[in-house]
C-alpha cells in the first residue's frame, strides 16, 4: 500500500489477465504515474513493477491485460477506481542478480473501444451538443458541457472512428466567443468536461504560493517553518515565455480580411484586432502596454461577394472569417508562457482550472518589508496538464507535476 504522509494513498493494484484471472500486484509496484490534460481525451499512465519471481518469463504480457488502481484521498470517504489496458512493456532492465524492473504503459479502456470502433452516421445540432452526443454514444459517459457552442452543423461522418469525428469538430469549431474548445477527463473528479479556453479563465483562481521564496525569517532559519510550507509549489521554472518571433511568424499581431464585391464593384477591408474580436477573459490580467492592436497585412484573407445572387453571403462570410481569425490567434497565443511546477498534493485542483501563482524575484530581501513578488511572471495561469506520481519509496510518496500556461504578461495590480 502506498500510504504516504500527504493527501493521497493508493490502496490496491489488481492485474486482470486476458482470461479474467486476478492478481494483486500491489506489493511489487514501485511507482505509478497518471497523466491528465486539457488536450487529452482520457487519463493515461505508466506503472513500474519490481520482478523477482519470474513474472515476465513465465507470463507473457500481450497487451490484453487490465490494471485496476484504487485510490483514496485522505480526509475523504470517496474511493476512486480507474481501469486501464496495459499496452505492453516500455522498458525492461535487470536491477541486480535475480531482480528486474519493468515499466509498462497504460491506456484508457475507452481508447481501446475507439481503436476497434468505426461508424458512418450523420449528426445535427450545436457543435458542443454533437461532441457530447458522440462521446455518449460510443463510450457511454455523459459529458459535462461548461461552454456554449458557437455554431450549428449537419455533418455526415463516413466510416470514421469516434475520436476522429471528435477531432474534426473540435479542430474546426469554437465556442460562442470564438475560443478553442477542449474535451478532457479529470482524474479525481472522475468526469469528462467540455470547456473553452476563455471560460477556463473566467473561473476564480486557486491561490497558491511558490515554495521557492526569499527567507524573511528574522532568525535566518529556512527550516524552522517547514511544516507550514506543506502543500505549496516547489521547483517552479519557466519553460518558455514571450516568443515574439513565433507570434509574429504566425500572424498574431493582426489580420486583414479583404472583401471584394464584384456585383457592386466595391472593395472593403475588415481589420481583425485581438483585443476587440477575441473575447478572452484573460485580457483582464494583461497590462495595456503589452496588448497588441496594430493592424498590418501579416495575414490576409480574401472573400469574394455576390450579394445580388446570395443576399446573406456577406454577413455570414465576414463573421466566419473574423471567428476563424479569433480562434487561430487564441490557439497560437494561449501558450505564450509555460511554467512547470512540482508540489506534494493537488487538493481541489484539476486540469482546466486556474490558479494564482506568486513567482519570486531573484534578489535578496534586505528587510521584512521588501516585496518578494515578481509582478511580471506572477499571476493567473490555466492548468494544462497534471502528472500524478505515486512512489513506494520512503514509505509512500505522492507528488504532482503541473504544466501551467497563460496568454500574456501579468498586470501590476495582481
pLDDT tens by residue, 303-340 = 556 655 555 433 334 445 556 666 566 665 666 677 77
Neighbours of 171 (CB within 10 A): 12
* Statement: residue 403 has pLDDT above 70: yes
Q: Put residue 220 in one of left, alpha, beta given phi > 0 → left and psi -120 to 50 → alpha.
A: left
User: In the predicted model, is pLDDT for residue 83 greater than 90?
Assistant: yes
At 285, the pLDDT band (50, 70, 90 cuts) reads: very low
More confident residue, 375 or 87: 87
Tell which wins on pLDDT, 131 or 93: 131
Question: Does the structure show a pLDDT above 70 at 348?
Answer: no
Give the model's pLDDT for residue 414.
42
Banded model confidence at residue 136, pLDDT cuts 50, 70, 90: very high
Q: What percent of the chain has pLDDT over 70?
A: 62
**31-40, 138-147, 231-240, 299-308: which range is least confident on average?**
299-308
CA distances from residue 2 to 10, 11, 27 in whole angstroms, order as listed: 5, 7, 9
Residue 231, all three cell numbers? 502543500
Contact 330, 178 (CB under 8 A): yes
pLDDT > 50? residue 4: no
Residues 6 or more apart in contact with residue 158 via CB below 8 angstroms: 120
Q: What is the CATH number of domain 2-112?
A: 2.40.10.10
Residue 44 predicted with pLDDT over 90: yes
**352: region left, alpha or beta (phi > 0 left; psi from -120 to 50 alpha):** left
- The overall average pLDDT reported for the chain is 74
105: Cα separation from own chain's centroid: 20
8 Å CB contact between 332 and 250: yes
Highest mean pLDDT of the ranges 57-61, 63-67, 331-335 = 63-67
b/e string for 136-162 if b means 16 or more Cβ within 10 A? eebbeeebebbbebbeeeeeebeebbb
Give the pLDDT score at 373: 74
Residue 175 is placed in which grid cell? 465556442
Q: What is the mean pLDDT of residues 373-378?
A: 76
User: Is-contact 16 65, C-beta < 8 A?
Assistant: yes
Which pLDDT does position 369 carry in this prediction? 59
pLDDT computed for residue 198 by the predictor? 83
Task: For residue 174, give the nearest of 197, 156, 157, 143 by alpha carbon.
Answer: 197
Neighbours of 21 (CB within 10 A): 10
pLDDT tens-digit readout, 191-208: 999 999 888 888 888 777
pLDDT, greater one: 367 or 98: 98
Give the domain 203-242+336-406 fold. Elongation Factor Tu (Ef-tu); domain 3 (2.40.30)
Under the banding of pLDDT at 50, 70 and 90, the label for residue 120 is very high
Strand 143-145 versus strand 191-196 pairing type: parallel
Model confidence at 225: pLDDT above 50: no
Q: What is the mean pLDDT of residues 375-393?
A: 83
Domain boundaries, the chain: 2-112, 117-196, 203-242+336-406, 244-332
Is 29's pLDDT higher than 80? yes
pLDDT, residue 402, reads 87
Amino acid at each position: 500500500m502506498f500510504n504516504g504522509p500527504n493527501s493521497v494513498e493508493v490502496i490496491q493494484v489488481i492485474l486482470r489477465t486476458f482470461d479474467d484471472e486476478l492478481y494483486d500486484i500491489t506489493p511489487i509496484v514501485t511507482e505509478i504515474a497518471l497523466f491528465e490534460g486539457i488536450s487529452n481525451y482520457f487519463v493515461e499512465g505508466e506503472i513500474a513493477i519490481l520482478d523477482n519471481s519470474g513474472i515476465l518469463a513465465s507470463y507473457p504480457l500481450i497487451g490484453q491485460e487490465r490494471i485496476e488502481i484504487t485510490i483514496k484521498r485522505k480526509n475523504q470517504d470517496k474511493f476512486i477506481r480507474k481501469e486501464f489496458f496495459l499496452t505492453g512493456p516500455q522498458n525492461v532492465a535487470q536491477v541486480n542478480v535475480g531482480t528486474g524492473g519493468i515499466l509498462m504503459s497504460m491506456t484508457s479502456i475507452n481508447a481501446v473501444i475507439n481503436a476497434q470502433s468505426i461508424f458512418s452516421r450523420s449528426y445535427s445540432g450545436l457543435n458542443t451538443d454533437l461532441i457530447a452526443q458522440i462521446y455518449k454514444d460510443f463510450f457511454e459517459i455523459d459529458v459535462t458541457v461548461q461552454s456554449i457552442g458557437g455554431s450549428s452543423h449537419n455533418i455526415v461522418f463516413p466510416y470514421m472512428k469516434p475520436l476522429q469525428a471528435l477531432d474534426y469538430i473540435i479542430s474546426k469549431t469554437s465556442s460562442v466567443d470564438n475560443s478553442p474548445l477542449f474535451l478532457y477527463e479529470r482524474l479525481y473528479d472522475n468526469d469528462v468536461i467540455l470547456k473553452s479556453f476563455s471560460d477556463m479563465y473566467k473561473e476564480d483562481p486557486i491561490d497558491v504560493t511558490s515554495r521557492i521564496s526569499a527567507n524573511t525569517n528574522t532568525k535566518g532559519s529556512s527550516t524552522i517553518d517547514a511544516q507550514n510550507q506543506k502543500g505549496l509549489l516547489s521547483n517552479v521554472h519557466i519553460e518558455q515565455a514571450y516568443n515574439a518571433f513565433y507570434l509574429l511568424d504566425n500572424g498574431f499581431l493582426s489580420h486583414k480580411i479583404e472583401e471584394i464585391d464584384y456585383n457592386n464593384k466595391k472593395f472593403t477591408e475588415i481589420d481583425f484586432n485581438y483585443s476587440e474580436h477575441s473575447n478572452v477573459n484573460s485580457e483582464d490580467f494583461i497590462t495595456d502596454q503589452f496588448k497588441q492592436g496594430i493592424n498590418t497585412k501579416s495575414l490576409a484573407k480574401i472573400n469574394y461577394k455576390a450579394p445580388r445572387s446570395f443576399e446573406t453571403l456577406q454577413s455570414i462570410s465576414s463573421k466566419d472569417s473574423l471567428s476563424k481569425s479569433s480562434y487561430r490567434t487564441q490557439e497560437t497565443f494561449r501558450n505564450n508562457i509555460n511554467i512547470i511546477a512540482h508540489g506534494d498534493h493537488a487538493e481541489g485542483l484539476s486540469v482546466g482550472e486556474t490558479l494564482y501563482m506568486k513567482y519570486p524575484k531573484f534578489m535578496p530581501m534586505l528587510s521584512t518589508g521588501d516585496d518578494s513578488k515578481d509582478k511580471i511572471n506572477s499571476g493567473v495561469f490555466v492548468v494544462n496538464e497534471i502528472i500524478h506520481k505515486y512512489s513506494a519509496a520512503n514509505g509512500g510518496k505522492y507528488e504532482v507535476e503541473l504544466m501551467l500556461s497563460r496568454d500574456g504578461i501579468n498586470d501590476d495590480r495582481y
